[in-house]
Structure 1
Amino acid sequence: MGHYAVQLGKAVGLHVTATYGALNTELVRGPGADEVLDYKMPEGAGLRSPSRKKQDGVVHCAVGIGWSTFKPMLSGAGKVVDITANVSTVLMSVVHWVTFTRKMLVPLLL
């Protein structure tokens, strides 16, 4: 699923930082990710990009990674679109919306 997000981001001219597991390195680099992070390494697990750029938007494609992991790496009004949304994701997004939080978690409900 994440490789589609990389392709879409590159198609509209975005700088794309992608995470991967050791077996999926080429799957992420092939579509043209500008930066890649191995999520099994400390930098990758903390989602700290090599360029130290803050992210304006994140497409969250994996389960088991909480909002607190994304918040420090977002720009001032950064958004995380979670395509693996569950009840807690929806509740957190409602809290963000009600409190007018600039950094937001946005569930994608299909």
Structure 2
Amino acid sequence: MGYPISHVIPAVALFNCQDVESIDHDKVQPFTQPEPITISEKSGVKFEPVVFINDGCASYPAVNAAGEITGGLKGTKGASDCTDPPFGTQTYGRASWHNDKYAIMFAWYFPKGKTTEWAGISC
């Protein structure tokens, strides 16, 4: 079994799929997170970042258990149609050892983006 934070789906697979059905962005049901068993799974859950969106589109699940992917949103102005995913969000992740270092990568799908003035961002 791989590294399921919420069942891991490699992002690359989403772009390389052939004959995959797409469904409306608000119809994709997220995977239920399984109980973490291995140390990798437990560390993935423990260190999963929390994403807070105060202005813009919330993250949505990108793929469901049947392998259907989101059709995304049309390029309309603002964050219309994507404020709260009706079934919850989804975090995708991978973990691996490389040169004696353990790395965890997390990914989210946002159906819309928003341009930002980089000069106005403070850390």
TM-score, normalization by structure 1: 0.23
When you count helix as a share of all residues, which structure comes out higher? 1
When you count strand as a share of all residues, which structure comes out higher? 1
Q: Look at both structures and tell me which one has the larger radius of gyration over its CA atoms.
A: 2
- Structure having greater relative contact order (Cα 8 Å, sep ≥ 6): 2
